[in-house]
């Protein structure tokens, strides 16, 4: 009972006491009429006060409520911050991050939050260029251009999925609907459909592989709604006798039996029972698609940051780091991971075997300051009948990082997605060289199983690309087990030479490059040939050496390829070598 009501009752009780003599009270000097009038006046005053207390527009606000409302007004988002939260990152921000952003009280805090928000998602946190942020803005622009239907494209279901997960692997589009042959899993038979489109993603982290998302435009107005109901696109669903399934056409089922209160109103078919049992799987997938995308591979990060112990069998892989100068004080460090297919767990579906490997990497300084981190997924597919024959083949992953000269530690962790306890880790210290402008120097000597020119549009970009050359490095497994090649293959090797002397008068370099292949068993030189630097680039102080050597003439065994450079102008010499095995 409210305090105002209690006060009102007490007033009437007191008034009653004044009108009825008590056994112990002295008789009042007032007349009966005066007492009645006084009670009536008191009642009016109390009624007026009570009505003010009960009117929320006149009631005085408590101090705590005033403070809360003032804080909410100060924190109210306006302008670009409101647009950033409600539009730009609407589909990718987590609930926890949203609450934290809304609790901020000034623009300085909001600016810092936004900066950290993008940095947490940056594949290369040390770089001022944030590829993830730029990709999100590109996706928003694409969604607005292609998915608008009376509302902005970013706000539609297709826009939401595109912004979160990027372009689908493939699209099965039916923009006009029309005649549709149902698959047997949906009952078979023919029907007419509303416009619909199916998006297929080969793999979405945190959701799974072979993800199919269906959008249906039931109003035929361009408003495609994401649905898990495969019968939502059936335009004849509620037309008696139309759009029957195979079983219904054969009299083995009735259309009215479809409407049984489940998630879908599909008719029975040979596989319908099995498909209906997957309704909860579709519900779970729908919920995951609606949630913000995961910041990937937190489990792998724990193996690197806290050195979490492995609980399953070790997932082996080989790693090679190389160094290529890209500037006066910057070095490109390509990191190549080599994973043998026999160590990957494959799952077979529709005659195709597929393995998926998650990769997490981190680079730190010797003082344990994080320089950069990266994460990615490698997918390997093989025809099921060839899987056993390709077990000894290897799959490569390549990540090129720009680093300043100095000492670093590289930590890597990989996980076999089809066997989550199958995890491997690797750590090694590296020293990124300082390339002095006055000293003859070279990049790493990279042995490759494949080396070819790339199209002009791909020069300097893309995986396995150095300048205008595509390289697939052949990774050393260990010092005792160098990179191996088959006799029928070619040995490709790539190297750059820096700071060649250039004659001031002729503006030409003058260096001799010697190539040798040495048998490690008897140390005999099997190949010894030379080349002038002018035949590669006569007026440059930097050369890129690219050679291809057929291995058919070499017997199985261990060898070393050695490149010697003598600069006649500066009088400097330098050499690089790399071991390899011919099987």
Residue 15 included in any domain? yes
Distance, CA of 244 to CA of 242 (rounded, Å): 6
Do 379 and 450 lie in a common domain? no
Please report how many Cα atoms fall inside a 13 Å half-sphere around the Cα of residue 38, on the Cβ side: 13
Cβ–Cβ under 8 Å, residues 187 and 266: yes
Q: What is the dihedral of CA 548, 554, 557, 559, to 10 degrees?
A: -40
162 pLDDT higher than 70: yes
- Do 245 and 386 share a structural domain? no
Considering only CA atoms, which of 409, 420, 404, 442 is closest in space to residue 319?
409
In terms of average pLDDT, the best of 33-47, 230-244, 302-316, 491-505 is 491-505
pLDDT of 500 strictly over 80 = yes
| pLDDT (tens digit per residue) in 533-572 | 999 999 999 999 999 989 988 999 999 999 999 999 999 9
CA distances from 196 to 179, 278, 366, 500 (A): 12, 22, 55, 63
Which tens digits make up the pLDDT trace of 282-313? 788 888 888 877 666 666 777 777 667 777 88
Helix (H) or strand (E) segment spanning residue 534: helix 534-537
Does residue 339 sit in the same domain as residue 431? yes
- Are 356 and 215 found together in one domain? no
What is the DSSP-derived secondary structure letter of residue 509? B
What does the mean pLDDT of the chain come to? 82
Structural domain range at position 14: 3-54
In the 3-class helix/strand/coil scheme, how is 321-342 assigned residue by residue? ECCEEEECCEEEEEEEEEEEHH
> Would residue 145 count as lying in a domain?
no
Residues 18 and 96 in one domain: no
- The verdict on residue 63 lying in a domain is no
Look at residue 253 and give its three-state secondary structure: coil
Q: Are 143 and 393 in contact (CB under 8 A)?
A: no
Which residues, at least 6 apart from 108, have a Cβ–Cβ distance to it below 8 Å? none
Q: What pLDDT sits at residue 7? A: 46
Quick one: three-class SS letters along 199-234?
EEEEEECCCEEEEEEEEECCCCCCCCEEECCCCCCE
**Pair 347, 418: CB distance under 8 Å:** yes
pLDDT for the residue 11: 40
pLDDT surpasses 60 at 327: yes
Nearest to 467 by CA among 406, 412, 537, 562: 537
What's the rounded mean pLDDT across residues 69-93?
78
- Band of pLDDT at residue 70, cut at 50, 70 and 90: low
Query: Phi and psi at residue 459, in whole multiples of 5°?
Result: -65, 130
Q: Which residue has the higher pLDDT, 4 or 250?
A: 250
Residue 358 inside a domain? The answer is: yes
**pLDDT digits 0-9 by tens, 259-279:** 766 677 777 766 666 666 566
Is 520 inside a domain boundary?
A: yes
Do 37 and 90 lie in one domain? The reply is no
- Residues 180-199 have a mean pLDDT of 89
Q: Are residues 104 and 178 in the same domain?
A: no
pLDDT of residue 72: 54
Whether residues 464 and 571 share a domain: the answer is: yes
pLDDT at 143 over 90: yes
Q: Provide φ and ψ at 54, rounded to 5°.
A: -80, -20
583 and 443 belong to one structural domain: yes
For residues 264 and 301, state if they share a domain: no
For residue 65, the model assigns a pLDDT of 67
- Domain finish residue from 403, 435, 467: 435
Q: Is residue 281 part of a domain?
A: yes
Residue 522 has pLDDT above 60, yes or no: yes
pLDDT higher than 70, residue 109: yes
CA distances from 446 to 126, 337, 513 (A): 26, 14, 16
**Beta 469-473 vs 490-498: how paired, if at all?**
unpaired
431 and 450 part of one domain: no
Within-domain flag for 146:
no
Res 488: pLDDT: 84
Contact predicate 577/561, CB 8 Å? yes
Q: What is the pLDDT of residues 481-499, one digit of tens each?
A: 788 898 888 899 999 999 9
In total, how many domains does the chain have? Answer: 5
Closest CA to 513 of 444, 576, 465: 576
Among the listed ranges 265-279, 342-356, 421-435, which one has the minimum average pLDDT value? 265-279
Are 328 and 405 part of one and the same domain?
yes
pLDDT of residue 298: 66
Residue 276 to residues 70, 232, 264, Cα–Cα distance (Å): 53, 15, 8
């Amino acid at each position: 009972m409210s305090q105002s009501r209690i006060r009102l009752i007490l007033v009437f009780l007191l008034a009653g006491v004044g009108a009825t003599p008590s056994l112990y009270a002295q008789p009042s000097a007032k007349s009966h009429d005066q007492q009645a009038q006084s009670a009536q006046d008191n009642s009016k005053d109390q009624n007026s006060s009570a009505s003010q207390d009960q009117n929320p527009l006149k009631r005085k606000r408590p101090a705590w409520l005033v403070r809360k409302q003032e804080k909410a007004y100060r924190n109210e988002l306006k302008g670009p911050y409101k647009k950033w939260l409600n539009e730009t990152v609407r589909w990718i921000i987590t609930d926890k991050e949203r609450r934290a952003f809304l609790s901020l009280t000034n623009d300085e805090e909001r600016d810092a939050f936004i900066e950290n928000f993008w940095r947490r998602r940056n594949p290369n946190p040390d770089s001022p260029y944030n590829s993830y942020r730029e990709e999100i803005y590109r996706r928003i622009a694409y969604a607005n251009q292609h998915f608008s239907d009376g509302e902005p494209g970013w706000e539609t279901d297709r826009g939401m999925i595109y912004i979160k997960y990027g372009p689908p692997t493939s699209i099965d589009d039916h923009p006009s609907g029309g005649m549709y042959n149902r698959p047997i899993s949906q009952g078979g038979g023919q029907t007419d459909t509303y416009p619909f489109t199916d998006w297929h993603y080969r793999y979405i982290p945190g959701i799974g592989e072979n993800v199919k998302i269906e959008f249906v435009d039931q109003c035929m107005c361009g408003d495609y709604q994401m649905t898990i109901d495969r019968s939502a696109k059936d335009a004849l669903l509620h037309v008696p006798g139309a759009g029957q399934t195979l079983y219904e056409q054969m009299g083995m089922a009735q259309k009215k039996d479809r409407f049984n209160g489940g998630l879908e109103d599909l008719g029975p078919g040979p596989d319908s029972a099995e498909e209906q049992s997957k309704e909860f799987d579709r519900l779970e997938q729908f919920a995951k698609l609606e949630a913000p995308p995961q910041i990937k591979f937190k489990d792998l990060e724990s193996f690197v940051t806290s050195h979490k112990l492995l609980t399953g069998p070790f997932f082996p892989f080989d790693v090679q780091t190389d160094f290529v100068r890209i500037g006066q004080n910057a070095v490109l460090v390509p990191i190549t991971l080599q994973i043998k297919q026999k160590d990957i767990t494959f799952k077979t579906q529709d005659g195709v075997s597929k393995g998926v490997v998650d990769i997490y990497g981190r680079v730190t300084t010797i003082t344990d300051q994080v320089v950069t981190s990266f994460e990615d997924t490698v997918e390997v597919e093989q025809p099921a009948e060839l899987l056993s024959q390709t077990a000894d083949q290897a799959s490569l992953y390549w990540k090129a990082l720009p680093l300043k000269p100095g000492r670093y530690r590289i930590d890597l962790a990989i996980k076999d997605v089809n066997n989550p306890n199958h995890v491997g880790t690797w750590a090694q210290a590296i020293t990124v060289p300082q390339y002095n402008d006055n000293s003859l120097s070279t990049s790493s000597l990279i042995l490759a199983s494949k080396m070819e020119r790339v199209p002009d549009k791909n020069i300097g970009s893309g995986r396995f690309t150095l300048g205008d050359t595509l390289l697939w490095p052949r990774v050393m497994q260990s010092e005792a087990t160098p990179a191996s090649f088959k006799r029928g293959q070619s040995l490709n090797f790539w190297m750059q030479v820096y700071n060649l002397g250039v004659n001031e008068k002729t503006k030409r370099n003058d260096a001799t490059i010697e190539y040798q292949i040495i048998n490690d068993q008897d140390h005999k030189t099997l190949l010894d040939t030379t080349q002038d630097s002018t035949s590669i680039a006569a007026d440059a102080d930097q050369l890129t050496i690219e050679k291809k050597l057929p291995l058919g003439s070499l017997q199985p065994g261990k060898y070393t390829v050695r490149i010697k450079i003598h600069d006649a102008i500066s009088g400097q010499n330098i050499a690089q070598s790399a071991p390899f095995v011919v099987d």
